[in-house]
Amino acid sequence: MISLYRYGWAGLFWIAASAWAAPEGTKTNSATQAEEGRYRSALLFANVVELIRDEYLDIEKTDYDKMTYAALRGLLSSLDPHSQFLDPENYKLIRTETEGQFGGLGISIGLLENQLTINVPIEGGPAYRAGLLPGDRIVKIDGAGTQKLTLGEAIRKLRGRPGGVVKLTVYRPSETRTMEVSVVREMIQVPTITDVGLLSENTTRGEKIGYLRVTQFGEKTGHEFDAALSRLEAQGAVALILDLRDNPGGLVDAAVEVVSRFVPKDTLVVATEGRKATAERVEYLSRACTRRIKLPTVVLVNGNTASAAEIVAGALQDLGKAVIVGETTFGKGSVQTVQRLDLSVTPDVGVRLTTAHYTTPSRKKIHGVGIEPDITARLTRGEEQSIYRQRSPGLQKSGLPVVEIQDEPLDRAVDLLRGWKVVARRSYPTR
């Protein structure tokens, strides 16, 4: 890596020109073209920087570091919403996140129509308790507009020391209104599996259908999943509904752990593929488990089912272990790696760069495509938010009435499992 700090901009010209002016015939045409492109780009960038240094009005904004960091932020963010240049402060934050010592609001966010949008508030987290909903658009953070923020910059503003208050200005499209919400940062440690139990007999017409919802995939999901299954088995469940709606994902290892409960050891669950396809292919195989699920299973998904949750849905679908019901999932299946840039200077800087994408066992790409359900069943945005509100203890305490809501995907799942059991009974009559 060339150090601008060591050579300066004039040095960069010399280095680029030297590389470009290599003896003819020593390089292939493609290599020569690449060197020419590198030289032109370096020369253009350096000329613009020096022009700014010489003539821009506000000299405080012409510091070499500041201009270089700003240019690199724009470059990385132009690639995709997940790639990011990590200046010293951001690089330090990334290392802190890896060590798990940070506070947050408990939300998954993304850019929708170039607007900062809440994908899913993590159930039980501070944003969830404050009443924020999927689809809410964050207009301001602590009074400052978000229109020009990259996704990485927004995450940085939202995260910080536990106990700190973040003031959000939020626009809710479904209600065409803007509201102010104050949320206190917390260490996000909430159960990943909730609502474990048998569905009501009125819903299932007497069949004992077990239900559990995975809100995210974390380090404890495998253990929580086993505990939930033990509870359902004790209640006599003969079928299972696994609800992954509004699940923003989490740890890939946790997703592999869950799929491992359905398939034999060393079954392909998911793979990553980089630019060189098979040369950089990494496979994630199922682990040995003492528990094996053999119940007929339906997985519920929607447009907010993302990342690790899509890995689970895609694997169970491909491997024939579950029927997927709902809507096409979010389509977040890319792999980001954090790489430190060795500039022989301090402090450290780096990049978070998209380097690969996930594929299902049948090698279907997830990113930008999502998992297509086997059976399509939709809810309106209003129905989704009504169901979400009833799951929110903060909103229930505010006096909002709990009303019966039609949940078509859940009804379709129940009908499917009831039919499954009827066919099984008719196929194997009692003699």
Q: Which two tokens stand for residue 259?
A: 């799929």
What average pLDDT does range 264-268 have in this prediction?
Answer: 97
18 an active-site residue? no
Catalytic residue among 260, 307, 334, 392: 307
Give the 3-state secondary structure of residue 27. Answer: coil
What average pLDDT does range 69-91 have in this prediction?
Answer: 88
pLDDT score at 184: 94
Count of CB atoms situated within 10 Å of the CB of 16:
19
| DSSP-assigned states of every residue in 128-162 | HHTT--TT-EEEEETTEE-TT--HHHHHHHH-BST
Q: Give the integer Cα–Cα distance in Å for 119 and 41.
A: 37
pLDDT score at 127: 93
> Does position 82 have pLDDT exceeding 90, yes or no?
no
Domain ranges of the chain: 4-62, 91-184, 193-426
**Phi and psi dihedrals of 218, rounded to 5?**
-130, -175
Q: Give the integer Cα–Cα distance in Å for 243 and 297.
A: 10
pLDDT score at 26: 54
Nearby residues of 341 by Cβ (< 8 Å), 6 or more positions away = 1, 348, 349, 350, 351
Would you place residue 88 in the very low, low, confident or very high pLDDT band (cuts 50, 70, 90)? confident
Instruction: Report the predicted TM-score, pTM, of the whole model to 2 decimal places.
Output: 0.72
pLDDT score at 335: 85
CATH number belonging to the domain at 193-426, selected among 3.90.226.10, 3.40.50.300, 3.40.50.1860, 3.30.450.40: 3.90.226.10
Residues 352-403: pLDDT tens digits? 898 899 999 999 999 999 999 999 999 887 788 777 666 654 444 344 454 5
What average pLDDT does range 107-111 have in this prediction?
Answer: 83
Of 42-56, 115-129, 177-191, give the range with the top mean pLDDT.
42-56
Catalytic residue among 286, 332, 334, 392: 332
Terminal C-alpha separation, the chain: 77
Domain 91-184: assigned CATH number: 2.30.42.10
pLDDT score at 336: 83
**Phi and psi dihedrals of 168, rounded to 5?**
-110, 140
Closest CA to 121 of 110, 107, 102, 109: 107
318 an active-site residue? yes
307 an active-site residue? yes
Residues 153-171: pLDDT tens digits? 888 889 888 899 999 999 9
Count of CB atoms situated within 10 Å of the CB of 50:
13
Q: Give the integer Cα–Cα distance in Å for 266 and 285.
A: 5
What average pLDDT does range 407-427 have in this prediction?
Answer: 82
pLDDT score at 18: 46
Q: What is the mean pLDDT of the chain?
A: 84
> Does position 407 have pLDDT exceeding 70, yes or no?
yes
Beta bridge partner(s), residue 336 = 354
Q: Which two tokens stand for residue 326?
A: 């709902």
> Does position 290 have pLDDT exceeding 90, yes or no?
no
- Dihedral sign, CA of 337, 110, 185, 247? negative
pLDDT score at 6: 41
Q: Which two tokens stand for residue 276?
A: 């060189």
Catalytic residue among 318, 321, 392, 407: 318
Q: Give the integer Cα–Cα distance in Å for 120 and 249.
A: 10
